[in-house]
Chains A and B, each alone.
Chain A
Amino acid sequence: MNGYNFAYLDEQTKRMIRRALLKAVAIPGYQVPFGGREMPMPYGWGTGGMQLTASILGADDVLKVIDQGADDTTNAVSIRAFFERVAGVETTTATRAASIIQTRHRIPETPLEPGQILVFQVPIPEPLRFIEPSERETRLMHALEEYGVMHVKLYEDIARHGHIATTYAYPVKVDGRYVMDPSPIPKFDNPKLDMSPALLLFGAGREKRLYAIPPHTRVESLDFEDHPFEIQRWDERCALCDSAESFLDEVITDDAGGRMFVCSDTDYCERRREESA
């Protein structure tokens, strides 16, 4: 830890981010601006999530980092190594063993427990941005609950594809009030947001916004009465652990068109294989 403050950020910055987090928890789904700092990596690599993690990390925390469900990708390995080095905290790949999980684009399959915190990396925090470029206007739309336009997007999906074709970053309404972008998680994970016993924090580094879903908060995915929200289903099972319930990635195995479906959550997949062995 030579030359660095604990968890890289200075204490002032961490306090500022914690205050913003408290506000975010108090107003579920509301985007709170914060004074984002430069991190030793480019935007788009998880700088928002890292600043949140750095601000809430304590010496006795156990950290897990996943990227699209996997603990072993470059991004996950690098961020985990970073906090090992600048905070000296214990790390793990086991979902149950972690007190803080920083994630990019997935929620672990293993149900989260009270006391755990999930930190999401967010590229574009504003769910209304696709239709309204002005920040002033989107803030007003949130303030006045002018959310009709969110359904315009879903309407277009059905008109063009016959069903709601949005499969990730699927918009939700938090606690019956704010419409929120859950970050680019697959809509498969949306039901896990609802009444989650864990605290869910979202950080966008480039846009310098953070937001939160406190434990046991109602989170609904937007839909139509005659086109209700549905999650993805597969005909296949995981080729490694035989799970029929988890989110599957299609993996190309050779140049001859060989492929298989495996769990995107590597920890979940390994546990199941260990248990059945």
Chain B
Amino acid sequence: MSRPDLPGSQCPEAEPAPSLRCPDLARPVLLDVQEVTRLYGPGKGCEAVDFRLHAGEVLGIVGESGSGKSTLLRVLAGLEAPDAGRVVYHRPGDSLETDLYAIGEARRRALLRLEWGLVHQNPRDGLRMSVSAGANVGERLMALGQRHYGQLRAAGQDWMTQVELDPERIDDVPHTFSGGMQQRLQIARTLVTRPRLVFMDEPTGGLDVSVQARLLDMLRTLVRQLGLSMVLVTHDLAVARLLAHRLLVMRRGRVVEAGLTDQILDDPQHAYTQLLVSSVLTP
């Protein structure tokens, strides 16, 4: 098929190139979601959702409101048992699998509190609004048994710095923070115990556009630095493009398309995905 050379081209075989091996493409499965169904009524909820989340992956779940993505997130995050199907967690470095809804509530809650994290769309749902920023960040550490005030405070200031909040404000209550700052505080409060798996529900919803960009950049950096795995629910395809490695597209409770984020957005196959992608306004 190839054409003869242009004049003047060099023969590459003159110098042998270093050996080229296939990188390790296999990543351990962290979350194995098997045919999960949770229906409130016909087409309301999620139905037969089946996918695997790999270590270090950010998986975006996109779809319009009412598509079932928030229900799915609640089932995945251990807040609501499915009608059918299983959510299985594979702890890294541990051959045991944890069937999220087969274990007792005590173990499930401990898992959610210590190894997983959930960032709510509305920071008021994820923060204790009446206690200081420092106490908010320190709570999960205290739940783990950290009993040194000075160390809790140092951790609070460190995490406030990481999420670009002024550590001088450690004793201020969240009410005195802006919406974007509250969201960053909620993220610090969630990440302080270094969870392996984080669920985020519209983390940039309700924020000004300029604030969104800053939060997205911060999340990208944290994902890389902490090796986080994340399930991200969003209706905003621009957010999905910037944060997610892979996407699931949901419609009426079902996953209609799944794949690499840029492939889904640039070469959508399903009629609904094409509609969704072409409906985005570009400035």
Q: Do A and B come from one complex?
A: yes
List A residues at the B interface (Cβ < 8 Å): 131, 140, 143-144, 146-149, 151-153, 155-156, 158-160, 223-227
Q: For the complex, what is the distance from the CA of A225 to the CA of B146, rounded to whole Å?
A: 9
Q: For the complex, what is the distance from the CA of A148 to the CA of B144, rounded to whole Å?
A: 7
Q: For the complex, what is the distance from the CA of A223 to the CA of B113, rounded to whole Å?
A: 22
Q: For the complex, what is the distance from the CA of A158 to the CA of B144, rounded to whole Å?
A: 20
Interface size class of B (residues with CB under 8 A): 20 to 34
B166-177 vs A: 1/0 string, CB under 8 Å?
Answer: 000011000000
Q: Are A155 and B149 in contact (CB under 8 A)?
A: yes
Q: For the complex, what is the distance from the CA of A158 to the CA of B153, rounded to whole Å?
A: 11
List B residues at the A interface (Cβ < 8 Å): 105-106, 109-110, 113, 128, 131-132, 134-135, 138-140, 142-144, 147-150, 152-153, 170-171
Once A159-B171, A225-B148 are accepted as A-B contacts, the answer to whether A146 and B138 lie under 8 Å apart by CB is no
- A160 to chain B: closest residue by CB: B171
Q: Are A152 and B171 in contact (CB under 8 A)?
A: no
Q: For the complex, what is the distance from the CA of A227 to the CA of B152, rounded to whole Å?
A: 12
Residue pairs across A and B with CB atoms within 8 Å: the count is: 61
- B150 to chain A: closest residue by CB: A226
For residue A151, which residues in chain B have a CB less than 8 angstroms away from its CB? Answer: 142, 147
In the A-B complex, list the 8 residue pairs whose CB atoms are closest, starting with the nearest: A148-B143, A151-B142, A148-B142, A224-B149, A225-B148, A155-B135, A144-B106, A152-B135
Other 6 A-B pairs with CB < 8 A, given A149-B139, A151-B142, A151-B147: A144-B109, A147-B143, A148-B142, A152-B131, A224-B147, A225-B147
Q: For the complex, what is the distance from the CA of A152 to the CA of B189, rounded to whole Å?
A: 13
Q: Are A152 and B142 in contact (CB under 8 A)?
A: yes
Identify which of A140, A152, A225 contacts B128 (C-beta below 8 A).
A152
Q: Are B105 and A140 in contact (CB under 8 A)?
A: yes
Identify which of B113, B138, B144, B153 contacts A152 (C-beta below 8 A).
B138
A-B contact pairs, 25 of them (CB 8 A): A140-B105, A143-B106, A144-B105, A146-B113, A146-B143, A147-B143, A148-B140, A148-B142, A148-B143, A149-B139, A151-B142, A151-B147, A152-B131, A153-B131, A155-B131, A155-B142, A159-B132, A159-B134, A160-B171, A223-B147, A224-B147, A225-B147, A225-B148, A226-B148, A226-B149
